[in-house]
Each structure stands twice: as C-alpha cells, then as structure tokens.
Amino acid sequence: MTNCADAVSDRQFSQIMAATGPYEAAPHLAVAVSGGGDSLALALLAERWCRGRGGRVSALIVNHGLRPEATEEAACVGGWIGAHGIAHRILVWDGPKPISGLQAAARAARYDLMSAWCRTHGVLHLLLGHTREDQAETFLMRLEKGSGPDGLAAMSRVRALPFCRLVRPLLELPRAALRATLAAFGQAWIEDPSNNDRRFARVRIRNAIAAAGLAPSNLAKAASRYGEARVALQRQASCLVAASCDFHPAGFARFRPEVLLANDRDISLRALSRIVTAVGGAEFAPKRDRLERFHGKLTSAGAHSGTIGRCRFVGSGDSILICREERRLPEPVTAVPGEQLFWDDRFRVEFAPAGGSQIQRYLACLGRPGWAEIVGREPQLRSISIPDPVRRTLPALFDRAGVLVVPHLGYFRCTAGLTVRTRVSGFGRLSFAPRNTLSGPGFFVA
C-alpha cells in the first residue's frame, strides 16, 4: 500500500483487531462488502491483516435485487475484490420485498444470508464496515425515538450471534480515513444512491447532522459513554440473575422472587428481561412499559402467574417456574440426516447422519397428544422432574408411528422389546442455546 497521510496503516488496523479479538491462529474472516468505500476498505485491510497471520478473507456481497443495476454492481464489486486476491461469494435476497420498512427488512435479510453462510462454512467472525459517522447517526436516531441508556449506547463493537460474531472494527474511524485508504490502494468504490434518499430516516439524520454543524466525533463519544454505563448495569444484572435464577438444559428456569424483586428496580427489570428473553427465545426483550407492568404484578402478593415474551410464569411463594408458552410454537420440520438448524429460536439441533433406515422423520414440539402417547407406553414418565407445562413444548422426533425420541425426557421408543437408541435416535446433537443468553448479548464499547 502506498503512503497516504490519512490512510489507515497496517499497524493501526492491527491494534484495532487486537481490541476486537480473540481470533484463532490462521483466522478465516468473512467481510460484508457492499461496494461502498467503508466496506471495501475494511475488506482490503482485513485481507492484509489475515495474510500476515496465515489466514484468509471471504468477501460476502449481498444482491438485494432492489435496483435494476444491482446484479451488475455485485459482479463489478466481485471483480474488484478478486483483483486483490480475495475470494468472494454473491448472496441473493430472493422473494417478495416489503413496501414499508424496506431498509430494516433488507438489513435483516442481509444478516440472515451472511450468518447462514458463516455457519455453513465454519467461519466464526463476520466483519461489518460501520464507521464513526454511522455510530453518530445511530445515536441520534435512538435519541429521536426516546431510547433509554441502552439504546443510546448505539452499536456494540462486537455482538455474538448463534453461529458467529459480528465485529465492527471501524467504529472509531471517520469515513475520510477509509476513503484515503482506498486511494492508497488505488481502488474505486460505488456510491449507493439510497444514501441520498430522504425517504429513509438515516439519510434525514445524516443531513441534519451536517446542517446543524454537529461533530460526529462528539456524538460517537456520547454513545461510547452510554455504552460504558450499559456495561456496568449489565454486570449488576448478571450477578442478580446468577443469585436468583436456576436454569435447566430443557429450556426452563425457576427463580426466587424475593431475591430478584428486592434489588434496585432498574437492575431487577434488567434481570427479569434477561430471563424472559432467554426462556422465550425472542430476538428482542419485551417493551419496557410492558415489562414494568409485569414486574409490578410480580411484586403483588400471590400474583406470580401470567405470560410475557413467549413465556409462561407459574407458581407462588418461594419459587416461580418460567417456561415456554404454548403459543406461536414452530411448525414441524423434516429431519434431514446430517443437517443442522436453529429450532424455536432456542435449540441447536444436529440430526444424526443417515443410517440404514429410510423412514421419514420430523421435528416438532411434543404437544399434548405426544405426551399422552409416551406416558401410555411408559407410565413412569409421569414422575419425571421436568414440570408438566414444560414437557409439551420440548423438541421431539416423530415418524409415521408416532413419537420416536424425546431426549430431555430420556424417552426412546422401544421396538420388539429393545430400546434402539444408537440406531434410531435421529439426533446427533441437541442443546439449549437461545438467541439471547442469560448473561445477555454483551456490549463492547468502541
């Protein structure tokens, strides 16, 4: 790379990457590349960093199909990337596109496509090209919506997904430094016309920042300070969850309300939100006002039941059961031998490789009929320690003859008086791994 006074140096980028680690030896990094200046610069910097460690980069280019020239642009970006010796893959967002909320839908589709690719290829780190200006814009967008301290912390430098980490190495760097970096590489870039489309809130915020003469560096610094406060509050909430809650690998929990509710209200709300989000498997925590109402209900004597965030609360006194609500449960899915999937937003499932049997099987909740079937076969299951409301929502494998396996209940259907666990269990691995864990998603301050 030629000298350029404002370009990001290899040494500077190495320091940034050290702060976002750890990374494995000879790392394989995926980089989201749109063709814009920020993501292209990130891909080139990451490639040099990886090459110096015996690793490699895969550039992921998402074609949203929203503009006629999108396919041609994706191919152009792939050519640019390839000229620098970087492998790339073009991922296409198929299907109908929403009329409203288009940017949010496109963003969700982009992350789904890229994280799925990372899962399939065993890539642990997905790098995103968000910059200081993006952080400043996010801060003001959250402020406009009336977000609390957590929202005003804006974007985390690192965020854990079920199968990879989202890493934003450039959050402290201005766009100008990345444009200078591309100039030093002799690399052109594409300006997305949607960046000037005032229909989108982010564009309006960007223009407002420029019109008011606000310094993005100061806005990003404010977000960083909120981020530090968020980290401190998360730490206290984690300690409270550990002190008040017992979790079971079948995906339910018991908590002691006198411990949870006796603490500072804000910390107690955060802890309750963590528990609900983990057990329910939701992507986002319940809205603050709804959580406050439910928290108030729990503090009332004897009012320790109800539903919130796909969770059901059962019990009173010293212990309250929290389990998955029997609503909005996943549809049955075919069990493809050797396939991996994330089921009910709560369980990681890996089906066993194909054996001698060719009988089709499918994964679904055990349900009331399934429970009645297996206790009819094995009545001793009624005395199992897993509570009744939990049993019906457990993952189970079915075939044409009915329930085949319910791992959490230790049930394996017998054939000719024999329990054929190893040949017909169907599961290679089944583990409770909710989208958001009890410790929370974590927040890393740039």
pLDDT at position 210 over 60: yes
Paired strand residues for 396: 364
The architecture in CATH of the region 232-324 reads 2-Layer Sandwich (3.30)
Residue 203 in contact with residue 196, Cβ under 8 Å?
yes
Query: Does the fold of domain 232-324 match that of domain 10-214?
Result: no
Q: Which of 434, 407, 432, 430 is nearest to 351 (CA)?
A: 430
Give the range among 26-30, 123-127, 161-165, 253-257 with minimum mean pLDDT.
161-165
426 or 164: which leads in pLDDT:
164
- Residue-wise pLDDT tens digits, 99-147: 888 878 888 899 999 999 999 999 999 999 999 999 999 999 999 998 8
CB 90 within 8 A of CB 80: no
Band of pLDDT at residue 417, cut at 50, 70 and 90: very low
Q: What is the mean pLDDT of residues 302-313?
A: 86
**Quick one: CA dihedral 389, 395, 398, 403, positive or negative?**
negative
**What is the pTM (predicted TM-score) of this model?**
0.80
Model confidence at 421, in pLDDT bands (50, 70, 90)? very low
pLDDT above 90: percentage of residues in the chain: 70
- Model pLDDT, residue 425: 59
What was the pLDDT predicted at 424? 46
Q: Which pLDDT score is estimated for 76?
A: 95
Question: Mean per-residue pLDDT for 225-231?
Answer: 94
Q: Homologous superfamily of 10-214 in CATH?
A: HUPs (3.40.50.620)
Is a pLDDT exceeding 60 seen at residue 356? no
Give 256: exposed, middle or buried? Use CB within 10 Å, 0-12, 13-18, 19+: middle
User: How confident is the model at residue 309, as a pLDDT?
Assistant: 94
The band of 418, judged by pLDDT with boundaries at 50, 70 and 90, is very low
Both tokens of 432, joined, read: 């409770």
Q: Which of 86-90, 323-327, 379-383, 416-420 has the lowest mean pLDDT?
A: 416-420
So what's the pLDDT on residue 445? 86
Domain ranges of the chain: 10-214, 232-324, 333-432
Question: Where does 285-411 have alpha helices with state H?
Answer: 288-299, 367-377, 388-391
Q: CB–CB of 362/334 below 8 Å? A: yes
**Residue with token string 């189970």:** 396
Over 80: is that where the pLDDT of 5 sits?
no
Tell me the residue ranges of DSSP E strands in 212-360. 245-247, 253-255, 306-308, 311-316, 319-324, 333-334, 340-343, 347-351
314: Cα separation from own chain's centroid? 28
- Taking only the tens place, the pLDDT of each residue in 158-172 is 998 878 999 999 999
- Surface-to-core class of residue 418, CB atoms within 10 Å of its CB (0-12 exposed, 13-18 middle, 19+ buried): exposed
pLDDT at 303: 62
